[in-house]
Amino acid sequence: MKVLILAPGSWGDVSPAIRIAVDLIADGHTVTMVVHADYAAAVERSGCAAARYTAALTPPPSADGDVGPGVRGYLDHLRGYMMDHAEAALMEVRAGAIDVVLTNPISPFGHDIAEALGIPSAEALLQPSKPSRAYPPMIASTIDFGPLLNRPIGRVVQRVPAPYVPAVAWVRQQLGLPAKKFATALNERARAAVPVHHGISPVVFERPSDWPQHLSLDGFWWPVDDEEWTAPTELADFLASGPPPVLVTMGSVPEGSRAADALSEFVSSTRHRVIVQGAAGPILAEAAPGRVVTAGPVPHSWLLPQVATATHQAGAGITAACLRAGIPSVPFPQHTDQFFWARTAARLGVAAPLSNRRVTPSRLHSSVESVTGSGEMLRAATTIAKSLERSEHEQGESTLALRRWIAEPSTPCAGGRR
């Protein structure tokens, strides 16, 4: 089988897709991933072909460096980003035969490609997206509206035009398909039971009772270990020279934001030893030599078990990595599904989230002290980590369900054929 994986988004979206690709290649399939040029080398090292696009996920800084593009400008930029990815996907489609398409939350035009080719498609998601009583819509997960409102609000939000809708319409036009309302396409895929696989462990998130059978929880799709990676000497020596430090990972936190400023002030004034990931790391390390070091891209499977706690933006990947490492954390979610993941970690008793509006240096100090001094939270984190390990041992590889479906896909895409 030749599998086409659509993986627009940041490294947090690409890394789990590489996990899927590596396991598919081991099964004898050929895999091509449509991915940003920044990640193409990592994709190709995994043995997967990379179809590149170049549009940046975030808008470039303004000339004065202070004023952002605004909501309208940001949405316009995202529409261009989605279109660039869609164009790269179509170029790959026209280059040769494809047997199966895998999409992620922001590449639904993969289903339209499958419809035109008459081949199966499936979704590979890192967060729950179908409307349910169990959670709010991910794009508006700041508030959990409760079991009475989550599902109807989710259905309404699902029909709000998203930045990828113009790309979907363009792909259909390019492939000679009739125009179709996006809501109609959603309904057709639901009726056709197009498989939706989630890279989420049922240990962390219980399968909602109102999910149909074609939605599954497969387990976390962990990053692939780079066998040639070695720890930087400075970082390894720092970890060995004292008590476990606090990890401060800026992630997608924008520079100049309230959260970024609070993190910088916290790093400068805390009594703890600190490892900083992010653009501000070198400056902060220079201001506190010996107590603060900076780290670039480092495998979290190696780093997190060696720290006392992590402050992070509560993305799906870093939240899961903290759970796997058995460490408590201080999440400060910024947007979309990050609020859902921060609440999930808090519900499990392993995190003390901060509202973005309330991320101040004093609150960070208080939260970090509370988390690092809580034996109860550490015990809960250790229990979750052991449960994850036991579950993965019992259920086998997290990509197994998806790989079985690809080996013999029994469900075609809506409008497609076997």
Q: Is 393 exposed, middle or buried (0-12, 13-18, 19+ CB in 10 A)?
A: exposed
Q: Are residues 237 and 359 in the same domain?
A: yes
Residue 21 structural domain: 2-221+398-407
342 in a domain, yes or no?
Answer: yes
Q: Are residues 140 and 262 in the same domain?
A: no
pLDDT number for residue 415: 38
Q: Are residues 166 and 38 in the same domain?
A: yes
- Residue-wise pLDDT for 314-363, tens only, equals 999 999 999 999 999 999 898 889 999 999 999 999 999 998 777 788 89
- pLDDT at residue 251 above 50? yes
- What secondary structure does DSSP assign to 365-399, as a single string? HHHHHHHHT-HHHHHHHHHHHHHHHHHHHHH--TT
Q: State the number of CA atoms in the 13 A half-sphere of 256 facing the CB.
A: 5
Q: Output the average pLDDT for the chain.
A: 90
Q: Are residues 242 and 303 in the same domain?
A: yes
Beta-carbon contacts of residue 229 (< 8 Å; ≥ 6 apart): 299
CA distances from 335 to 169, 206, 237, 252 (A): 27, 23, 35, 10
- Residue-wise pLDDT for 197-213, tens only, equals 999 999 999 999 999 99
292 in a domain, yes or no?
Answer: yes
Which CATH number fits the domain that encloses residue 279? 3.40.50.2000
204 in a domain, yes or no?
Answer: yes
- Residue-wise pLDDT for 207-234, tens only, equals 999 999 999 999 999 999 877 889 999 9
Q: Are residues 124 and 242 in the same domain?
A: no
pLDDT number for residue 237: 95
415 in a domain, yes or no?
Answer: no
Q: Are residues 151 and 251 in the same domain?
A: no
- Residue-wise pLDDT for 265-292, tens only, equals 888 899 999 999 887 788 888 888 889 9
- What is the mean predicted confidence (pLDDT) over 2-8? 97
- The angle at the Cα of 336, spanning 309 to 223, to the nearest 5 degrees, equals 55
412 in a domain, yes or no?
Answer: no
228 in a domain, yes or no?
Answer: no
pLDDT number for residue 413: 44
pLDDT number for residue 418: 31
Q: Are residues 274 and 145 in the same domain?
A: no
- Residue-wise pLDDT for 176-198, tens only, equals 999 999 999 999 999 999 999 99
Q: Are residues 13 and 45 in the same domain?
A: yes
187 in a domain, yes or no?
Answer: yes
- pLDDT at residue 6 above 50? yes
CA distances from 133 to 29, 149, 214, 373 (A): 37, 7, 17, 35
pLDDT number for residue 13: 94
- Residue-wise pLDDT for 391-405, tens only, equals 998 888 899 999 999
32 in a domain, yes or no?
Answer: yes
- pLDDT at residue 307 above 90? yes
- Residue-wise pLDDT for 380-392, tens only, equals 999 999 999 999 9
- pLDDT at residue 411 above 90? no
Q: Are residues 198 and 269 in the same domain?
A: no
How many domains are there within the chain?
A: 2
Q: Are residues 143 and 37 in the same domain?
A: yes
Q: Are residues 195 and 244 in the same domain?
A: no
Whether 244 contacts 306, CB under 8 Å: yes
pLDDT number for residue 72: 80
- pLDDT at residue 68 above 70? no
- What is the mean predicted confidence (pLDDT) over 153-167? 91
Residue with tokens 């390390």: 285
Q: Which of 201-215, 252-266, 363-377 has the highest mean pLDDT?
A: 201-215
- pLDDT at residue 85 above 80? yes
Q: Are residues 369 and 402 in the same domain?
A: no
Beta-carbon contacts of residue 217 (< 8 Å; ≥ 6 apart): 198, 200, 201, 202, 205, 207
pLDDT number for residue 3: 97
pLDDT number for residue 416: 37
pLDDT number for residue 9: 93
75 compared with 195, residue with greater pLDDT: 195
- pLDDT at residue 61 above 80? no
